[in-house]
Amino acid sequence: MRYIRARRWQFGALFSVIVAGAACAVLVQYGMKLLVDAMASPDRMAADVWTPLMLFLGLIAIENVMWRSGGWLGARTIVATGVDMRLDLFQHLTGHPMRYFSQHFAGSLGSRITATANAAGMILRSLTWSIVPPCTEIIGAVIVLMTIDWRMAVALACFVVIVALAIVWFGVRGREVHHTFAHQASHAGGQLVDVVSNVWTVKAFSARQRERDRLAGELGMEAASETRSWMYLEKARLLHDACLWIMAGSMLLWAIMLWRSATISPGDVVIISALTFRILHGSRDLALALVNTSQHMGVITDSLRVIAQPHGLDDVGDERPLLPGGGEIEFRDVSFTYPDGRQVFDRFNLKIEPGQKVGLVGPSGSGKSTLISLIQRLDDAQGGGIYIDGQKVTDVGQDSLRSRIAVVPQEIALFHRSIMENIRYGKPDATDEEVIAAARHAWCDGFIQELPDGYNTMVGERGVLLSGGQRQRLGIARAFLKNAPILILDEATSALDTQSEQEIQLALEELVRGRTVLAVAHRLSTVANFDRIVVLSEGRIVEDGPPAVLRRRGGVFDGMWRLQADSLVEAMRLDAAE
């Protein structure tokens, strides 16, 4: 109803022409009655058949105009409403925290948005062409029959109400069946997308037949639930057909008996027959539309159960933006626990001065990734507060907060778009010259120029047509273009070969200049020249200071440094031996 109200004039016009078209369909039958009665006159030459004929033909013409106008309006109004629904669902979906996306298949979420909009579109189509017209025709038929025999009008109205209530009751009972089918279909679709997106793993482990067998089980359950949903619809159709057979037979028998007693004219018999069969087909459309609507509501219910959950993070929006500052970051008594009960931080404190370059090191599970996730407000702490330039991150808009932070992750996420578009993602209004300048700063202009289409080269899904080092440099170029005061490096070189790492280190040296930098580092060489190293262990800071000072202390950082240095020396010795 909210979407209908948003286009009240368009939907109002649509329903008006549909009601007018359905009313004309009933009046056409009345025109036929007048024509038959005129032709039944004993004096054929004096009978006025032309007036009812012109009325009959005129009503047919008006009816056709109304239906075509309804089609024209529906093609624009209902389709546009579907677009609005998908955009609103997307907007709500992207407001969920990152942990939400780790719990659901990406393909399943996308298919749910499309399925919801499609189901809503089918409901609007059914309402427009399968529910409103039969209802209008039934009301019109009752009115016309009142002019012939009020008892037949009352009988018809009562019969239609009984049939409608029976079908609606039957449809409501089947909602769980349709809901189960919608859930199974969405789950199976998500499983299929998951396998396709990991096709390399499937091939590498010779798992094609295994995955086929697994999908066969998933699709088998979907097929079984679809069969149950389908057969439920068939039962509804059977119930409806039986009711209408009784109704049509009773009305026709009644009309013939009245004609034999000279109570009604031949034209009355014609219109009773025509309206009976009109309502027969119209009520069938109405009944099936009601049952199908129940099925579509099952799809919508299943989708909204997943997508329309309340956001785990509250957002004040654009009303309270993050005010410009130097890039100071502070954790004050921060406590954070994952939904599974695993605690990461307990009254954690850390302050990073504006322009300071800080490396985060420590074993896996020590809280490094959680820390940078909390800074970007991809999740919220349960206690304490995180402040950027003295402003609590939960008190400012999420988009405003993230616009002041540039991130270069370990795995660069690229869209299946051109290189120009992927770099420009850091600053949508950037000129081509600004994009190229950022690429040069990131040491990637050279390899881009060697590609067949240069900056217009499509990178493939998630950038599969580029090497790891090339993708990483594009990520750095995007960060250059964003030009944010705070830079987060999330193990930006850990997955690269030595040659690629050296090239990217040159780009990073320029990128970190003049910014507050927080770098999660697996390779300690990445943060060797930073102002400060923070060593984490089990959510606590165990060492904090300049790299040189920590190495002289001989603590945890020094042990990690020596271990990596020994590993590097051993690798060089083996290379020399070969």
68 φ, ψ to 5°? -70, -35
Give the model confidence (pLDDT) of 375-386 as tens digits: 988 888 889 899
If residue 406 lies in a helix (H) or strand (E), which one and from where to where? strand 405-408
Residue 333, pLDDT score: 92
Residue 243, pLDDT score: 74
Stretches where the chain sits below pLDDT 50 are 571-572, 574-576
Residue 331, pLDDT score: 92
In this structure, what DSSP letter does residue 356 have? Answer: -
How far out from the chain centre does Cα 149 lie? 54
pTM, rounded to two decimals: 0.67
Give the model confidence (pLDDT) of 280-313 as tens digits: 667 767 777 777 787 788 778 878 888 888 777 7
Return the amino acid letter for 344.
V
Residue 572, pLDDT score: 46
Residue 32, pLDDT score: 74
Residue 332, pLDDT score: 92
Domains in the chain with CATH codes: 2-307 (1.20.1560.10), 313-404+517-578 (3.40.50.300)
- Output the DSSP codes for 482-524: H--SEEEEESTTTTS-HHHHHHHHHHHHHHTTTSEEEEE-SSG
Beta-ladder partners of 405 = 486
Residue 42, pLDDT score: 63
94-129 burial by CB neighbour count: b if 16+ within 10 A, else e? eebeeebeeebbebbbebbbebbbbbbbbbbbbbbb
Give the model confidence (pLDDT) of 225-246 as tens digits: 888 877 877 777 777 777 777 7
Residue 186, pLDDT score: 72
Residue 571, pLDDT score: 46
